[in-house]
Structure 1
Amino acid sequence: MTDGVVVTGFGATTPLGGDAASTWEALLAGKSGVSTTQAEWVERLGLPVHISAQLAVEPTEVIPRVQARRMDRCEQVAVVAAREAWEHAGLGAVPDEDGAVVDGDRLAVVLGAGIGGAPTLLSQNDVLQEQGLRKVSPLTVPMLMPNGPAAMVSLEYKARAGAHAPASACATGAESIAWAYKMLRDGDADVVIAGGAESCIVPITVAGFVQSRTLSQRNDDPEGASRPFDTGRDGFVLGEGAGVMILEREEFAKARGATIHGRLAGIGMTSDAYHITGPDPEGEGQIRAMRKAVEVAGLTPADVTHVNCHATSTVVGDVGETVAVRNALGDHPVLTAPKSALGHLVGGAGAVEGIIALLSVRDDVIPATRNLVDKDPKVELDVVAGEPRKTTVDAALNNSFGFGGHNASLLFTKA
């Protein structure tokens, strides 16, 4: 066992920016990453949703094109975020190279995707049907497999303590970070590269969400489409991106002189076992996840200053989460909802928003919820809107809830 788990680095590529710093800056500036979907199939298929949150910076601007062609787009964004996180943590050379500060046998990866390499599966199936077997890429399976992002990152950094790939829908990124916490606390690794990635803005995904009536159809106002907690909300906006944290045993981080940006003080993971898409109407699973995170951190509900909400901009989900927050923590936490600007990054959401929660603690500022003009009267908690709020944030909880009843809460405190 160790005396704590700390964050020494982080990286992201999102609809708001090609790295964590630009994403944070754009979020605080009130910018939106939502726009009209730039794809030929939008008009050809006549789907009713023409908007999405696409990457601000293409992965091929960071990864050489020859290397990028050997990866699904989901794997590409994972590698981009991991490279930034590794550099940000000051880890230097990778294991087995001169100057390496971490042994590959003590370095792990926990990096999941909610959907994974579906675009490769779909496109290569089209190739098979239209052009025949000889045209199918021999890299099809490594590109489509859901553990692809974790595998690619573990290969790049020679991580041999384990390469794990949770798949928990919209809770994937947060669950990955939670499992990394467990590995560090159990002494299975000194350093874990943890997070989530997703890039699946493709016709079948959009069509499926349309049919389940969960996507916003505010096509004439892309930047105003994602509006958590607002009375005018009509669904989420599908996005793409990745977030990665470098988590370390506190003792190891201090011994190497690392900069500590904050602590992952507590985690909570539960399951509803209620419905494949709908949350438990009583919010019991969400409540237990939040309470567990607080308990693991050795804190009380009164210590939690801020909650970075899962809030996707759905009619039922947003209100249900605020009721769960009140039951788990009380009326005092201040809320925000980054999906108003980022869209919903699915498997990458919990990791990117975990970074945002960490930065709120580090910088003592809570980003505003974009597009919150008329707050739903059923939302009986304080939600930051309009401008970011400068306030002391000693402890922030990040919530992620996924189809299948997956609930994950991460609790960050100051360094």
Structure 2
Amino acid sequence: MTRDTAVAVTGLGLVTAAGPDTETTWTAVREGRASARPDPDLHGLPVSLSCRVADVDGLRPRRPGAAHLDPGAVMGLAAVTQALNTAKLDPAAWDPARVAVVTGCSVGGLHTQQTAAGRLAADGPQSVSPYFLTGFLPNMVCAAISLHLGVTGPTLNVATACASGATALGTARDLLTSGQCDIAVVCGADAAVTPLTVTGFAQLRALSDRASRPFDRARDGFVIAEGAGALVLERSAHAAARSAPRLARLVGYGASSDAHHLVAPHPEGRPAERALRAALAEAGAAPADVDHVNAHGTSTPRGDATEAAVLARVLPHRPPVTSAKGALGHTLGASGAIEAALTVLALRADLVPPTAGLTDQDPALDIDVVAGRARPVPSALAVSTSFGFGGHNAAVVLACD
């Protein structure tokens, strides 16, 4: 007997440099407005452009211990709160043992680490806060959410670099369809705009100090960003029983590994292609069924070229493609969840947002990238792709409900 792998998306929330909530973020992406700005905290580094979230402290919850949360956890909690409100879920009314929390966080609390390292160097061990580790460890976004919500079901963090948010969605889906829970709160969150992290990416020549230009002829790297995206997933029967809002269905997920290089993609993208084909197969969808693609589209020369080649091979009917990173920058482990949420919004609006920063598409890339303004596209099925350092590949297929 074949297991039904489709689950309902009943809530979503976003916190990005474009805005502290879903509506302001979606408006900026839909209008193709870039949020990258010169960052005074990065002054003197090889790259000083970033996409920061404004007034993170204004998002901090008012409860004991919240003052010690790293900005990544604060953003994650804010996105989850939005998602639960959209899903019309009250944690006081659910069975906490039947709820899971799955987060995608690739780097941990780097702001907390930076503060602790500075104090240690300047004033010695006694100056380091006892809350250092609880702010820094990469599972603490998940822990903060589960503690805040009182969840006692499965809780875990996945770290597959910049594919983490998408991997979290696939992992949560499996927890639901295996019967381990009825509700899964999924959150991708990363806050890595720190001098050391930016220096590391700059040393790899992965960053741009001019603009994020996915798929553009002049692309020269990504703009580092921070943010969080949250989605509430439910077993379809559970969602129906409580008359939940049904925003979309997650109908397919595929994953693979390159086993090629620590930071460079497989030169032909064959493992990434395998992940995309597996996601479509699980969804019971033919390539021609895909109405649009929310691409990983980081704005790196090699990454965009590899992804475009994969999309051209798998989807020869050339559906419209967009990349949110032109507007929001690259939020690392949060990007897969943020972009899945944006894909849901695009499906519901029958609209494919433009790729901010794209003014002259690289003619070597045989895909149809939306530029300039949003394109009306009646959509029933869309794909969101994510790829990470270490050769991690993930693809999510979402459908209108």
- TM score, norm. by length of structure 1: 0.93
Report the Cα distance in structure 2 between the residues aligned to 1:206 and 1:348, rounded to whole angstroms: 17
* CA-to-aligned-CA distance 1:254-275 (integer Å, 9 cap, x gap): 1001010000010011111110
Instruction: Compute the displacement of 1:38 (Å).
Output: 3.4
The residue that corresponds to 2:12 in the other structure is 10
The residue that corresponds to 1:387 in the other structure is 373
Structure 2 counterparts to residues 227-246 of structure 1, below 5 A: 227-246=213-232
The residue that corresponds to 2:383 in the other structure is 397
Instruction: Compute the displacement of 1:125 (Å).
Output: 2.1
Instruction: Compute the displacement of 1:330 (Å).
Output: 1.9
Report the Cα distance in structure 1 between the residues aligned to 2:367 and 2:104, rounded to whole angstroms: 32
The residue that corresponds to 2:52 in the other structure is 54
Contact 1:147 1:165 survives alignment (8 Å): yes
* CA-to-aligned-CA distance 1:281-302 (integer Å, 9 cap, x gap): 1101110111011011111111
* CA-to-aligned-CA distance 1:332-389 (integer Å, 9 cap, x gap): 2210111001000001111101111111111110000112111101111111111100
* CA-to-aligned-CA distance 1:143-195 (integer Å, 9 cap, x gap): 11000001100111122221110011100011101111111111111000012
The residue that corresponds to 1:28 in the other structure is 30
Contact 1:271 1:405 survives alignment (8 Å): yes
- Over aligned residues, Cα RMSD in angstroms? 1.4
Structure 2 counterparts to residues 264-283 of structure 1, below 5 A: 264-283=250-269
The residue that corresponds to 2:163 in the other structure is 171
Report the Cα distance in structure 1 between the residues aligned to 2:337 and 2:346, rounded to whole angstroms: 14
- Paired residue for 1:140, among 129, 132, 135? 132
The 4+ residue runs of structure 1 with deviation greater than 4 A are none
Instruction: Compute the displacement of 1:56 (Å).
Output: 3.9
One-letter amino acid of the counterpart of residue 202, structure 1:
T
Report the Cα distance in structure 1 between the residues aligned to 2:133 and 2:74, rounded to whole angstroms: 15
Structure 2 counterparts to residues 17-96 of structure 1, below 5 A: 17-39=19-41, 42-43=42-43, 46-64=44-62, 67-92=65-90, 94=91
Is 1:125 the counterpart of 2:117? The answer is yes
Is 1:298 the counterpart of 2:284? The answer is yes
Any gaps of 5 or more consecutive residues in structure 2?
none
State the SS of the aligned residue for 1:169.
coil
Contact 2:113 2:132 survives alignment (8 Å): yes
Number of equivalent positions: 399
Instruction: Compute the displacement of 1:61 (Å).
Output: 4.0
One-letter amino acid of the counterpart of residue 192, structure 2:
C
Structure 2 counterparts to residues 178-193 of structure 1, below 5 A: 178-193=170-185
Instruction: Compute the displacement of 1:66 (Å).
Output: 6.7
Contact 1:112 1:195 survives alignment (8 Å): yes
State the SS of the aligned residue for 1:192.
strand
State the SS of the aligned residue for 1:111.
strand
Which stretch of structure 1 is more off in the superposition, 60-69 or 78-87?
60-69
One-letter amino acid of the counterpart of residue 209, structure 1:
F
Instruction: Compute the displacement of 1:206 (Å).
Output: 0.7
One-letter amino acid of the counterpart of residue 33, structure 1:
S
Instruction: Compute the displacement of 1:2 (Å).
Output: 5.1
State the SS of the aligned residue for 1:165.
strand
Q: Percent identity?
A: 40
The residue that corresponds to 1:222 in the other structure is none
Report the Cα distance in structure 2 between the residues aligned to 1:383 and 1:348, rounded to whole angstroms: 23
Instruction: Compute the displacement of 1:60 (Å).
Output: 2.6
Instruction: Compute the displacement of 1:134 (Å).
Output: 2.5
One-letter amino acid of the counterpart of residue 356, structure 1:
L
Contact 1:106 1:161 survives alignment (8 Å): yes
Report the Cα distance in structure 2 between the residues aligned to 1:228 and 1:376, rounded to whole angstroms: 10
Report the Cα distance in structure 2 between the residues aligned to 1:240 and 1:12, rounded to whole angstroms: 11
Report the Cα distance in structure 1 between the residues aligned to 2:63 and 2:202, rounded to whole angstroms: 33
- TM score, norm. by length of structure 2: 0.97
State the SS of the aligned residue for 2:158.
coil
Report the Cα distance in structure 2 between the residues aligned to 1:63 and 1:160, rounded to whole angstroms: 21
Q: 1:59 to 1:250 in 2, by over 3 A?
A: farther
Report the Cα distance in structure 2 between the residues aligned to 1:147 and 1:16, rounded to whole angstroms: 26
State the SS of the aligned residue for 1:6.
strand
Contact 2:213 2:357 survives alignment (8 Å): yes
The residue that corresponds to 1:221 in the other structure is none
Report the Cα distance in structure 2 between the residues aligned to 1:361 and 1:330, rounded to whole angstroms: 21
Any gaps of 5 or more consecutive residues in structure 1?
219-224
Instruction: Compute the displacement of 1:86 (Å).
Output: 1.0
* CA-to-aligned-CA distance 1:68-121 (integer Å, 9 cap, x gap): 4211111111111111111111002x1xx3xx0x21111000002111112212
Report the Cα distance in structure 1 between the residues aligned to 2:121 and 2:5, rounded to whole angstroms: 56
Q: 1:389 to 1:57 in 2, by over 3 A?
A: farther
Is 1:345 the counterpart of 2:331? The answer is yes
Is 1:152 the counterpart of 2:138? The answer is no
